[in-house]
Amino acid sequence: MALVLTEEQSMLRDSARGLISDKAPVAHLRSLRDSKDATGFSRELWTTFAEMGFSGLLVPDQFGGSGLGCVEAGIVMEEIGRTLMPSPFLATAVLAASALSRGGSEAQKAQHLPKIADGSLLAALAIDEGAKHRPLQTKLQATRSGNGFKLSGDKAFVVDGHTADLLIVAARSAGGAGDKNGLTLFLVDPKAKGLAVERTAMVDSHNAARIVFDKVEVNADSVLGEVDQGFGLLEGVLNIGRGSVASEMVGLSEEVFGRTVTYLKERKQFGKPIGEFQALQHRAAELYIDIEITRAAVLKALQALDVDLDKAGNAVSVAKARAGTTATLAVQEGVQMHGGMGMTDQFDIGFFMKRARVCQELFGDSNFHADQLAQGKGY
Amino acid sequence: MADLEKFRAETRAWLEQNCPAEMRKPMASDGDTFWGGRNTKFSSDAQRVWFERMRDKGWTVPHWPKEYGGGGLDGEEAKIVRQEMAAIGARQPLTSFGISMLGPALLKYGTEEQKKEHLPKITAGLIRWCQGYSEPNAGSDLASLQTRAVGDGDDYIINGQKIWTSYANYADWIFCLVRTDPAAKKHDGISFILFDMASTGVSTKPILLISGYSPFCETFFDNVRVPKSHVVGTVNRGWDVAKYLLQHERAMISGMGERGVGRPLGQIAADSVGADAQGRLDDAQLRSQIASFEVDEAALAAAAERAVDLAKAGQSHPAFSSAMKYYGTELNKRRYEILMSAGGIDALEWESDRSKGGARPRAWLRTKANSIEGGTSEVMLGIVAKRILDLPGA
């Protein structure tokens, strides 16, 4: 497979870019933040996303979606990264759609996937519990009770958890922290008794939630995949999420870099454009090279996910680790090269810096993924 | 697609049948590279057999046209050959500046006669080429070169000095930049010319490097007589040819890191520093350096693959090879710093059988030239800044 977009993929990119840059430039995020919007994203825009087929991108045809792959999801994520549009796309259309279509029973698929495709159902994946992403350390307890389970414990950093109609929750049904066996995924109604959702406004003006489970009862039908064997399914879904977030970071990096290069050409100091100074030229060139190399690694990972999800782990770790360091560098250089203006709230650059930090933590930071790679290679 | 899969299966079977086991092991040192040429010697029978089989199949350069001794494969097929060779760890049967540098320039700018004369000798490993670009006062500022070629009937008489001429002392022929119009602006009076290193008036002197080797030479031209028909491209427009060739040279140098050193870095490090109870390298900092290096190495490999695919799709920027050259050479220096660190005291032995004559420290020192030769890292960043990012200033 060539590491360039096909004609169809380029068309998808163009239509996503057109819509997002038109309807949701950075000013869109700014106004949601300033008005302390209760939802944190535009439901109207999500409806438009659904009409254009984006919400059902990863939903198989027979359930009303277009059955496309991770490369296509990554294309939309990259465009989201360019304007920082807050959207249920990642939580619902990428993570939940993947989890359900890969692990769901026929009944579960028939119940939820068409609603994801038509934009009427929002979902969220609840994984993290501590300050760092450590899925194997999952402690939220699933205790057998009757023909079902009782869930007790806490989840944090549940992206878009405050608006979800459906939660996908990773729980420990057997074993202890660090065990691959003994994890189970559950489909949970956020309105269930004993479940409390607290919206957390994050540094990047996107939304997440803290969720407390106090003996929340779920029946056997709510198990997604197999009891105790949820890790394989979870890891695949997380890898799709990681590749997608890496793609968002490529879009974010490229946008902030483009704004910075434009500024280098316009801003004059000492009587000439600052872009004439070799110290800045070389730093800009290095950043350009860094972004290009990351872009290739991310496309490689997205293709690998589509070819064989189970073998894509290393490529995904490379992509997420690279994208995290590249985005961190891009926003730091962006603020620095914009000088004092870069520090002002009035200027957009700071929004990119905040989002980059969140994307870095989401589903494992660069250190986590370098470590995954090292473990995979046995050292 | 089905045809390509068939081609892959055939290629795999052929390589399995024809690549000697010894040629699938990593090279112990640069001495295991086969360069071809008039005075060539094979280091082993296996090396000879492997070269001859690949030559007879046209696969010393799979993607060149058959009429010039290549394999006549298209881009996808050539990629498959590379992938299948990599899959069994097969060595390059022939390494040559004729293949990686001169050949592409001749294919683009050479006359039919020049192509017929030189390309088949390159693919058959008969002639070893060197590059006469840099001069003592024209390194990064290459276009200020002074070597003169003055017309004399059907010939030029060439006088001057080159420096950093890689392996000039082993080369049979040279592709050389000479000033044919001293009055013109500095880029406009240069020609690209080919001649035999055995010509009267050519002499070379190796330059000893910090690695203890002499891959580079000083090269002197004292009234060397060369037919005018040996100019490639248009007289005084040699800069076009030179620049095109430099793109290929930069791509070649950026790929040096990918040749690798055989075993994974993590294993090499485990040999000397050992592992902790969880099987992790017993040096957390080194482990983290290796891991982040391997992240970047894998990303660079993807970028190299993408560069080829972009070129095929007609979407590549001509200056992108400078970006790859910069990153590839800096990464290769990092690799060898890690290798030295992983080897610890053992990697310091300079002259011993155990250390194969200090192969590792010599290779480490050699990599320091990567970010200088073929254009320094600073020159590469300048090219990216101006030609790709369009930043202002001369």
Residue B252's pLDDT is: 77
Contacts of A105 (CB under 8 A, 6+ apart): A221
| pLDDT range class, residue B256, cuts 50, 70, 90 | low
Residue B260's pLDDT is: 47
Choice between A297 and B316, residue whose per-residue pLDDT is larger: A297
Question: Mean pLDDT over all residues of chain B?
Answer: 92
A70-74, B212-216, B261-265: the lowest-pLDDT one: B261-265
Question: Which H or E run contains A233?
Answer: helix A230-266
Choice between A135 and B374, residue whose per-residue pLDDT is larger: A135
**Chains A & B: contacts with CB separation below 8 Å:** 140
pLDDT at B259 over 60: no
Question: Mean pLDDT over all residues of chain A?
Answer: 97
Other beta carbons within 10 angstroms of residue A349's beta carbon come to: 21
pLDDT at B136 over 80: yes
pTM of the predicted protein model: 0.91
Note whether A288 contacts B388, CB cutoff 8 Å.
yes
d(CA A18, CA A24): 10
- β-pairing, A148-159 with A207-218? antiparallel
- In the chain, the amino acid numbered A266 is E
| pLDDT range class, residue B258, cuts 50, 70, 90 | low
Residue B312's pLDDT is: 86
Q: How far is CA A340 from CA A83, A272, B54, B341, in A?
A: 22, 18, 61, 41
In chain B, residues 251-270 whose CB comes closer than 8 Å to chain A: 264, 266-267, 269-270
Task: Name which of B264, B295, B309 is nearest A370 (Cβ-Cβ).
Answer: B295
pLDDT at A281 over 80: yes
Note whether A2 contacts B381, CB cutoff 8 Å.
no
pLDDT tens digit sequence for A187-234 = 999 999 999 999 999 999 999 999 999 999 999 999 999 999 999 999
| pLDDT range class, residue B197, cuts 50, 70, 90 | very high
A315 vs B contacts (CB less than 8 Å): 298
Cite the DSSP H helix spans in B96-202. Answer: 97, 103-109, 112-123
Residue B394's pLDDT is: 57
Q: Give the distance from CA A294 to its chain's centroid.
A: 17
Farthest-apart Cα atoms in chain A, separation: 78
| pLDDT range class, residue B76, cuts 50, 70, 90 | confident
Q: Look up the ipTM and state it.
A: 0.94
- The tally of CA atoms less than 13 A away on the side-chain side of residue B178 is 30
| pLDDT range class, residue B393, cuts 50, 70, 90 | confident
Residue A228's pLDDT is: 97
A46-50, A237-241, B277-281: the lowest-pLDDT one: B277-281
Nearest chain A Cα to B267, which residue?
Answer: A379
Q: Which of A35, A36, A32 is nearest to A24 (CA)?
A: A32
pLDDT tens digit sequence for A133-185 = 999 999 999 999 999 999 999 999 999 999 999 999 999 999 998 999 999 99
